[in-house]
Structure 1
Amino acid sequence: MNSAQYVSNLLEELKKAGTALMVIAWKIALACVGWAYVFGARGQYCTPANRRARYSDAHPTIKTACKNYNGSSSEGCQGCKWYPGNLLTRFFDCRGFPYWIFKIVYGFEIMGAGATSQWNTKANWRAQGTIDTCPDDIIVCLFQQDKNKKSTMAHTGIGFHGETVECQNGVQYFAKRKDKWTHWAIPACVEMEGQPMPDKDQKEEPKENEPTLRKGSRGDWVTILQNKLIMRGYSCGSKGADGIYGNDTVAAVKAFQKANGLTADGVTGQKTWAALNQTAPVTETYYTVTIKNKTKAQAEEIISKYGGTMAAE
């Protein structure tokens, strides 16, 4: 299994070589095979702190899958299949995987809290269709429609040349597209032969259409707002971008407004939208710090005081 650093290096090498972006996206997707599935994740590093941040008692799967929860190992991440050679990997859920791939390759964010809201957000896509018309020579997002509820997309993944990579039981590769897929969509950032790329400002909804949102608002625009806040380091609560403007989203908006010199009233109006659009998403950085002459117990005590830290041999 590849490490997160290997994938980052591969991305840089492919871009320097001038490789076509569709090919880069596919190669990066393949390089992630074997990485873990974690509900609500979009490419965070697989660390105990990040796993705890994604899971609560409402999502107990982590306690059976992760050594840090089930107590099956006293060595923490050491020897874990998602920590190969004591190197970090990343984790995703199904909609978080294509989100991360297209973000790091194209700089384009596929908005939506889940597969359904991703599919329904028209600004995400250059073209959409049913699986019988799926193009094989263009990288696409694949969708599986819920059999019992036609308005719901139950799953999503990435397809190219009739092959697929998806994150369900971890990131998996399939040499032949399975029959379960019902729909496809080409992200707006992907160039199609004979069609010009959209203008940069067209990757998001036109600014004049950005509505004023406040506590109690619901829908895709709230999801877009929440995704922007989360990607800029502001938590919208344990459910993430759920499309509901509740107390956690109000608090996140107020914190963002205060940090950017705006009136911290928790209402997302024109000035707040403008500030969000002009503020770059935060990126994760991983540092190694060595503290000598400490026992294991002393090291664990130090680690417990700092969020996002983990031990390494």
Structure 2
Amino acid sequence: MNSAKYVDELIVRLKEQVKNGEISLSEAIWRTALACVGFPYVFGAWGAECTVKERKYRLGLNPSHTTIQTKCKAWNNNNCTGCQWFPNGERTRCFDCRGFDDWLFKQYGYDLEGEGATSQWNSKNNWCRKGNVRDGVPQGVVVCLFYENDSGKMAHTGIYFNGQTCECSNGVQHNTKLASKWTKYAVPACFADLMGSLTTEPQKEPEKGKTTVYKTIRKGNMGELVKNLQTMLSKLGYDLGICGIDGDFGIATQNAVKEFQRTHKDENGKALVVDGVVGEKTWKALEKAVAEIGSAPPVVYYSVTISHLTEKESDAIIKEYKNATRTVEKG
């Protein structure tokens, strides 16, 4: 488990990378969330360091939440040595589900209004898009998830990024799949300028008589659509790095896309923009390039052995046929 100090130093580095355009804001928020995995759940906490003093303060405000005390081994003696949330003698941070989401965004200058999950969800200033999880969750940005109970209240919240989730429930947890408990999603207002490029499901083959809809994807996206892209790039001979076709649009895939864009043109004969982003023009150029490979006649090689040639004669044959080879027999 990391310490609060480690996470704080990581945030400084991630902010600089966002500023320099090396990573997106969503990538920075997501990496920060993952760095907090294992940090403790304390009802009402919004990212303060986990200490006995902080726990006693929170219990005083919320006396019915007795786990604030029962989960703390140092409650009586104020000695955190040996506690899982005091790794190598360094503090961690504590959150509840609502506090975790808010703290993450605040590290990068954005505030999610509301004292609880329900008020957070109801605040119009927080979001630029809302929807039902069953209809598809936007890819490419960090999205807040909510569980709506039978009474219509939001009983839990967490974050989602390209198929994976992170939440503070009995501690900060990372899940590689979207659990069925989540019912609602909301895209934070800080991502409003990206709304036009967000996708919610993989690109599918069009039905007969219908036009293909080309969805834009970029570094940070994950899923079947990225696998489709990687498969096409692989067929064309581009290097996808050690991970290969894994459905994760990382730096190797981005570099492969840029390399393809440098040497190909759109359907109007104009050079593609070399930005590593796969939009309609790049999709069409990829499809054309792959189709041309499929339509090219196969290369057939024949093996013919000609013995008792002089060196001069064999040199002439090798010069004429570039795939010819020479074997010198001893004896």
Q: TM-score, normalised by structure 2?
A: 0.55
Name 1:37's counterpart in structure 2.
Answer: 41
1:13 and 2:13 aligned? yes
- Work out the CA distance in 2 between the residues paired with 1:190 and 1:36: 29
AA matched with 1:101: L
AA matched with 2:129: A
Name 1:177's counterpart in structure 2.
Answer: 178
Task: Please state how far the C-alpha of 1:64 moved relative to its aligned partner.
Answer: 1.4
Q: Is the CA contact 2:47–2:93 (under 8 Å) kept in the aligned structure 1?
A: yes
Name 1:86's counterpart in structure 2.
Answer: 89
Task: Please state how far the C-alpha of 1:44 moved relative to its aligned partner.
Answer: 0.7
AA matched with 1:58: S
Q: Is the CA contact 1:138–1:160 (under 8 Å) kept in the aligned structure 2?
A: yes
Structure 2 counterparts to residues 196-211 of structure 1, below 5 A = none
Change (3 A) 1:182 1:162: same
Structure 2 counterparts to residues 218-297 of structure 1, below 5 A = none
Name 1:102's counterpart in structure 2.
Answer: 105
3-state secondary structure, aligned to 2:178: coil
Give the total of aligned pairs.
190
Q: Which moved more, 1:23-32 or 1:131-140?
A: 131-140
Change (3 A) 1:117 1:53: same
Name 1:139's counterpart in structure 2.
Answer: 142
Map Cα deviations across residues 242-289 of structure 1 (whole Å, 9 max, x no partner).
xxxxxxxxxxxxxxxxxxxxxxxxxxxxxxxxxxxxxxxxxxxxxxxx
Name 1:113's counterpart in structure 2.
Answer: 115
Task: Please state how far the C-alpha of 1:195 moved relative to its aligned partner.
Answer: 5.8
- Work out the CA distance in 2 between the residues paired with 1:114 and 1:13: 30
- Work out the CA distance in 1 between the residues paired with 2:173 and 2:146: 15
- Work out the CA distance in 2 between the residues paired with 1:154 and 1:41: 16
Q: Is the CA contact 2:165–2:174 (under 8 Å) kept in the aligned structure 1?
A: yes
- Work out the CA distance in 2 between the residues paired with 1:156 and 1:40: 14
3-state secondary structure, aligned to 2:100: helix
3-state secondary structure, aligned to 2:69: helix
Name 2:79's counterpart in structure 1.
Answer: 76
Q: Is the CA contact 1:144–1:156 (under 8 Å) kept in the aligned structure 2?
A: yes
Q: Is the CA contact 1:138–1:192 (under 8 Å) kept in the aligned structure 2?
A: no
- Work out the CA distance in 2 between the residues paired with 1:182 and 1:82: 31
3-state secondary structure, aligned to 1:157: strand
Task: Please state how far the C-alpha of 1:126 moved relative to its aligned partner.
Answer: 1.1
Moved over 2 A (4+): 56-59, 190-196
3-state secondary structure, aligned to 2:166: strand
Structure 1: give runs of 5+ residues left out of the alignment. Answer: 197-313
- Work out the CA distance in 2 between the residues paired with 1:135 and 1:194: 9
AA matched with 1:11: I
Residue 66 (structure 2) aligned to one of 40, 47, 60: 60
Percent identity, aligned pairs only? 48
Change (3 A) 1:59 1:26: same
Q: Is the CA contact 2:40–2:170 (under 8 Å) kept in the aligned structure 1?
A: yes
Q: Is the CA contact 2:160–2:166 (under 8 Å) kept in the aligned structure 1?
A: yes
Larger radius of gyration: 2
3-state secondary structure, aligned to 2:172: strand
Task: Please state how far the C-alpha of 1:45 moved relative to its aligned partner.
Answer: 0.8
Two-structure CA RMSD over aligned residues (Å)? 1.7
Q: Is the CA contact 2:52–2:78 (under 8 Å) kept in the aligned structure 1?
A: no
Task: Please state how far the C-alpha of 1:193 moved relative to its aligned partner.
Answer: 2.7
Change (3 A) 1:68 1:75: closer
- Work out the CA distance in 2 between the residues paired with 1:194 and 1:183: 17
Q: TM-score, normalised by structure 1?
A: 0.58
